[in-house]
Structure 1
Amino acid sequence: METMLAGVAVVAVVCLLLGLLLRRRLPAVSAWAIAGFVGAVACIGVLTLTPAYEVPTVIAAEDRPETCSLDYGGPSPEGFWIVGGGQRLLNMVVFVPAGALLVVACARWRAAYALVPLGLLGLVAYSVAIEWLQLELARIDRACDVTDMVDNSLGAVVGVGLGLLLAVVLRPWRSRPTRGQSG
């Protein structure tokens, strides 16, 4: 767990610096939304690709699963060792910020009508890629599961919906660059 928390801390520092850098060229809402989106995506990677336990079990090559579980609902456990509650809810919730920040980050530009759906497809593809890596890297004590892909994708969709509401409230398209900013 310490490795995971250290990874999240590194992501936070890098995204803070990215936000400060973007702030020189973009209005605050857009700069911080872009930095937050990058951070959310990076944190998903840290949370899902860091070994589940401090000392992962050794899985012999012949015991390694060859395919992703297509049994909708399993093999994920009901609880998760960091946050109480269902694994499926956690899988969904972890993608919500990325979906919401995607919308807010793109809302400033007219291209958002194309960027948001493409970004949503990108988040779904990211979920599939993570599950594939979990299958290929069996030694990290993670399981490839179609349920995770569905739950992650649903979280991204819910996040996009929340992002649409946030964009209406924050109105990043109305933000004017301050002195020294372009855009």
Structure 2
Amino acid sequence: MVPIGGTTWMLLLAAAAGCCCLVVALAVGRRMGPVAGTAWGGLLWSIVVIGLVTLLPPVDHPGIVPASQHQTSCSWDIGGPSPGGFWIFGGGQQLLNALLFVPAGLLMTVAFSRWRAGRLLVPIGFLLLASYSLGIEEIQLHVARIDRACDVTDIIDNVAGAGIGVLLGLVLLPVLRPWRGRGRGAARLSP
């Protein structure tokens, strides 16, 4: 049995992670400037929050979830069991799944675009976010105690959200200009 779960624990752990990530943001900001510090601290925090929201049981003390009653394969029903249908964010859970990954995509783009290698790092970061989503669904499939279900629709929504975040990050780059800041080696990602 997992002793913690539900919204209260998710919020408490997200707040604790936020404090730790604030320290990271301040440390990185001193070295690379405030935009880079905020991007790195925010990226780390958003990744932790995604894990908390998707890997903690949805209710406090879910009890014992027998492995025999847990699903044995991932649902390939595009649209899945969540309400509101499907095609890019029909509603409810699907919209939440997408919105959960938007900040990670945006902040990753801003953080990685500080360097000239950003043209390579941003697509690699996007693939890492997609892999993170896949890994979460694998854990949900194999760990019955967290009482979560694996669904391909979640992966599609997560990756779409990360993609929207990357696009928003690219749009905001000329305004945020993460290549400007303290520290030597600050280089601009040329358009």
TM-score by length of 1: 0.90
**2:138 aligned residue (125, 132, 141):** 132
**1:111 aligned residue (104, 117, 123):** 117
- Equivalent residue for 2:23? 17
Instruction: Report the number of matched residues.
Output: 173
Structure 2 stretches lacking a partner, 5+ long: 1-6, 85-90, 186-191
- Equivalent residue for 1:101? 107
Task: Tell me how far apart the structure 2 counterparts of residues 57 and 71 of structure 1 sit (CA, whole Å).
Answer: 28
- Equivalent residue for 1:159? 165
**2:73 aligned residue (67, 70, 73):** 67
Letter in 2 for 1:176: G
* 1:58 positional shift: 2.4
Structure 1 stretches lacking a partner, 5+ long: 79-84
Q: Aligned with 1:8: secondary structure? A: helix
- Equivalent residue for 1:176? 181
* 1:26 positional shift: 0.8
Q: Would the aligned equivalents of 1:75 and 1:143 in 2 still touch at CA under 8 Å? A: no
Q: Aligned with 1:24: secondary structure? A: helix
- Per-residue CA deviation, residues 111-165 of structure 1 (Å, 9 max, x unaligned), is 1001000000000000000011111112212110000000000000000000001
Task: Tell me how far apart the structure 1 counterparts of residues 67 and 46 of structure 2 sit (CA, whole Å).
Answer: 33
Task: Tell me how far apart the structure 2 counterparts of residues 6 and 44 of structure 1 sit (CA, whole Å).
Answer: 14
Q: Which has the higher contact order (CA 8 A, sep 6+)?
A: 1
- Per-residue CA deviation, residues 61-90 of structure 1 (Å, 9 max, x unaligned), is 222211111111112345xxxxxx511000
* 1:21 positional shift: 1.2
Q: Would the aligned equivalents of 2:105 and 2:162 in 1 still touch at CA under 8 Å? A: yes
**1:45 aligned residue (25, 34, 51):** 51
TM-score by length of 2: 0.86
Q: State the identity as a percent.
A: 48
